[in-house]
Amino acid sequence: MIVDCAIYRQGHRTEGPEDLSDALAEARAEGGFVWIGLYEPSEREFDLVTQEFALHPLAVEDALNAHQRPKLEVYADSLFMVLKPVVYDAASDTVSAGEIMVFIGDCFVVTVRHGEHSPLAAVRRRLEEEPEMLDKGPTGVLYAISDAVVDHYLEVATELGNDLEELEAEVFRPEGGGSRGTASRIYGFKRQILEFRRATGPLAPPLARLGGTGAFGGTVPFVHDKARPFFRDVGDHLTRVNESVEALDRLVSDVLSAHLAQMSVRQNDDMRKISAWAAMAAVPTMIAGIYGMNFDHMPELHWLWSYPAVILAMAALEVLLYRLFKHRGWL
């Protein structure tokens, strides 16, 4: 469905004709550009936009089906870029990603949104309050969208870092090891970092290309050369995000290894305690077993103080073993 459609001239919004063909013709004739926003359009709804703006069928297929990696594609009549905005729910410790597809041409911008979380509405409002940025045309819109998505990556990375510090404190607390569900929580946290990386990692080459750097640096159609420093700035922010994600991934792996090592140490301690108590229980069991064999000729069998002496001997041996195990740290 079309959620917004407007013509922008000299950085200001003007309401144009409802017909897309007339709006595009007016923008080309009088200057400016058309910006159309769509939310999870059906194939039938997108057909009209495809025909009017001569969008490439492969890009249209990607925009309709979603589930794309961040990328940049250059076609004859348009530029197609995919971004994945993310949001982190601290209550459930989950990272969820949406998708934004951006088509830009000589005098049009078409944005397609999939998922509930998207900065497009806020970007449009902010741009409408900054006429100098809107006056840059479709390039300014593409920059503003990229900048908003990457800036939110920084916020998500900070939130993940804070939650990881709490998880690390739980693992290394004085009583040690955390609860039984700590390992599954750590592994689930690692999966969320992987989901975050799927959104941030593949975006680096497209931004490098837009900024004129990297292996594919060069002129990109429909993007002004003066905009390159702005895209390089966004790329620098993304580099910080990717470095943070790498550090988080390594740290959560170390935390998981430390937790498993602590669990192994605790299990060894438990086994030592069980072995110590079993050894202490074996001594009176052995003595009682010997004197329970009912033989007639046994040492001190008919002695008056034999029973108290055996009990006292067992008690003395138990105390001796207890002090020995305690000294060695087994109990």
Task: Give the C-alpha separation, 86 to 76, whole Å.
Answer: 30
Could you tell me which residue, 288 or 208, shows the higher pLDDT? 208
pLDDT grade, residue 6 (50/70/90)? confident
pLDDT for 149 equals 94
pLDDT for 174 equals 65
- Alpha-helical (H) ranges within the chain are 20-30, 43-53, 57-65, 120-128, 131-134, 138-171, 182-200, 204-210, 228-290, 306-327
φ/ψ of 301, rounded to 5, equals -70, -40
pLDDT for 27 equals 76
What is the per-residue pLDDT across 179-198, written as a single tens digit (0 to 9) for each? 667 778 888 888 889 999 99
What is the per-residue pLDDT across 288-300, written as a single tens digit (0 to 9) for each? 766 665 656 566 6
Position 150 pLDDT exceeds 90: yes
Mean pLDDT, to the nearest integer, of 69-94?
89
Closest CA to 277 of 320, 311, 316, 321: 321
